[in-house]
Amino acid sequence: MSYVISTSYGNDSMALALWAHEQGLEDVTCVYIDTGWAASSWPLRVNKCEDMLKELGINVARIHSGGMAEMVLDRKGFPSNQHQFCTAFLKGIPFLDWIEDFDPVRSAMVMIGKRRAESEDRKDIPEFIFNSEYHGGRTLWHPLYMHTKTERNVILNKYGVEILSHRSDECHPCVNANRPDFLRLTPGEIERVNDLEVEIARPMFRPKRFGAMGIHGVVAWAKDGRKRGSIEDEEHACAGFFGCGL
């Protein structure tokens, strides 16, 4: 049996990779998908995590998706928290293409670091999903499904992995970004969004949701604006089957 961990090198997926090592699982491959939209600082985290895993005997692989900017220009629209087509285009389809080559006989088990304690949306996730349609009919395993944040952090601390105060920055900003995420955007990352907004003449974030038009307005709201419900959540949850942000 081989194992493929869908990894964004956030807290949960890195803890899962280390958990797999501690369990003595063999033939484990961690796969990172480059969305072309990561934070400028994120490659450093990815490199560090990959180096540590390789030292532990875990294989690592990278997939290059078409990229957020290309997808937005092609569709002349941004994904949103309601129409989250990015998960399929940037993660799901590239992952499926890759794993069909990597595991043509479909004997690998796919692992994702989702935990029930993460959010209300995930409170019922099962340990296993058999014949997962989003993983080419392979079995999907969530071994950390009962882990609390504290238990997860024990694993990360044991290996000296920095515990992030936010979700993975594999996409930055994510369509599900919250106030702390907007406040962490660098000027260059803000301009990257602004350039795309100008190019397609549409804002990335719905004006109604934030009471602001365009990324500069949203960042201004993040600095000064009033509270806006669930956008304030410290750890927002991304929907979908691809383990975004973990």
Of 13 and 176, CB closest to ligand SF4 = 176
To the nearest whole angstrom, how small is the minimum distance from the Cβ of residue 204 to ligand SF4?
A: 10
d(CA 241, CA 134): 7
To the nearest whole angstrom, how small is the minimum distance from the Cβ of residue 25 to ligand SF4?
A: 26
Of 8 and 29, CB closest to ligand SF4 = 8
Of 203 and 245, CB closest to ligand SF4 = 245
Of 46 and 244, CB closest to ligand SF4 = 244
Of 28 and 168, CB closest to ligand SF4 = 168
To the nearest whole angstrom, how small is the minimum distance from the Cβ of residue 72 to ligand SF4?
A: 11
Of 28 and 99, CB closest to ligand SF4 = 99
Beta bridge partners of 37: 171
To the nearest whole angstrom, how small is the minimum distance from the Cβ of residue 75 to ligand SF4?
A: 13
To the nearest whole angstrom, how small is the minimum distance from the Cβ of residue 124 to ligand SF4?
A: 20
d(CA 36, CA 172): 10
d(CA 42, CA 78): 22
CA separation, residue 5 to residues 10, 109, 243 (Å): 13, 9, 10
Residues that bind ligand SF4 (CB under 6 A): 35, 79, 84, 86-87, 90-91, 170-171, 174-176, 238, 244-245
To the nearest whole angstrom, how small is the minimum distance from the Cβ of residue 28 to ligand SF4?
A: 23
To the nearest whole angstrom, how small is the minimum distance from the Cβ of residue 151 to ligand SF4?
A: 24
